């Protein structure tokens, strides 16, 4: 019988391990409810050793948040292939995958947690929103958005964020329906903007030009026609 020898981790490797452990715990419970002792036990090290790598729970939370923010921002990256409605729907599916996997941590981040209010945390949250904003503009092929388009995209990102938080409280609406509804909301906001602005009208025409018969934007139009009949 051989006795296994525990390999000594380097500083950065241990830090990354602790961040991963913290994220797993934060995915199940709010960061406020997770103690340093629990993180240490899950990592198989002592409490003082955790403090050797991170000055305190706040710094560990911010490091975990940074990794999570990078992951969340990457969910908005989508190849420029197919219709815009289809692309947005795929983005929403990946976004809600994240929300599903990191529910308590996502909720704590957006509603209040141990690091909320710090400049580092606010910058991370804003960076995710900015990535989402820039990705959507790239799919619209717009580099210098007019005021109404900026309002549309930023308002929609806020809507997605708040919808996800409300959905986490009970998940009373089927997730797939909610993802489609949010894509429909983007088209609806664009249509409202088009009613006031010729530039937005051209943008809406561009959005709908390559929409297939079974696409989400076409589905929305069919539902609205049914309501009006």
Residue-wise pLDDT tens for the chain (229 aa)? 444 445 577 888 989 999 989 888 887 887 778 899 999 999 999 999 999 999 988 888 888 888 888 898 999 999 999 999 999 999 999 999 999 988 887 876 676 555 555 677 778 888 999 999 999 999 999 999 999 999 999 999 999 999 999 999 889 999 999 999 999 999 999 999 999 999 999 999 988 888 898 889 888 888 888 887 6
Give the count of beta carbons closer than 10 Å to the beta carbon of residue 58: 16
Alpha carbon of 126 to those of 130, 132, 149, 158: distances in Å? Answer: 6, 10, 19, 11
Residues making up the chain, counted from first to last: 229
Residue 176: both structure tokens together: 């797939």
Alpha carbon of 69 to those of 12, 28, 106, 155, 182: distances in Å? Answer: 19, 17, 10, 20, 21
Q: Nearest CA to 125 among 107, 109, 111? A: 109
pLDDT for res 53: 92
Q: Nearest CA to 221 among 202, 198, 204? A: 204
Alpha carbon of 20 to those of 24, 122, 161, 169, 197: distances in Å? Answer: 6, 21, 24, 25, 47
User: What pTM, to 2 d.p., does this model score?
Assistant: 0.84
d(CA 38, CA 29): 12
pLDDT for res 3: 43
């Amino acid at each position: 019988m051989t006795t296994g020898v525990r390999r000594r981790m380097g500083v950065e490797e241990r830090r990354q391990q602790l961040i991963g452990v913290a994220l797993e715990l934060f995915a199940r419970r709010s960061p406020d409810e997770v103690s340093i002792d629990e993180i240490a036990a899950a990592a198989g090290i002592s409490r003082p050793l955790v403090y050797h790598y991170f000055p305190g729970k706040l710094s560990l939370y911010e490091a975990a948040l940074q990794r999570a923010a990078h992951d969340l921002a990457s969910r908005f990256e989508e190849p420029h292939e197919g219709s815009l409605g289809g692309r947005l729907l795929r983005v929403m599916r990946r976004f809600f995958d994240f929300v599903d996997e990191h529910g308590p941590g996502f909720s704590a981040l957006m509603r209040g947690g141990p690091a909320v209010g710090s400049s580092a945390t606010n910058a991370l949250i804003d960076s995710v929103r900015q990535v989402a904003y820039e990705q959507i503009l790239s799919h619209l092929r717009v580099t210098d958005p007019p005021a109404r388009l900026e309002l549309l995209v930023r308002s929609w990102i806020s809507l997605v964020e708040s919808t996800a938080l409300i959905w986490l409280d009970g998940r009373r609406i089927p997730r797939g329906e909610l993802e489609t509804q949010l894509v429909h909301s983007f088209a609806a906001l664009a249509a409202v903007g088009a009613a006031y602005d010729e530039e937005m009208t051209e943008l809406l025409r561009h959005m709908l030009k390559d929409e297939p018969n079974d696409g989400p934007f076409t589905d929305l139009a069919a539902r609205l026609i049914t309501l009006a009949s």
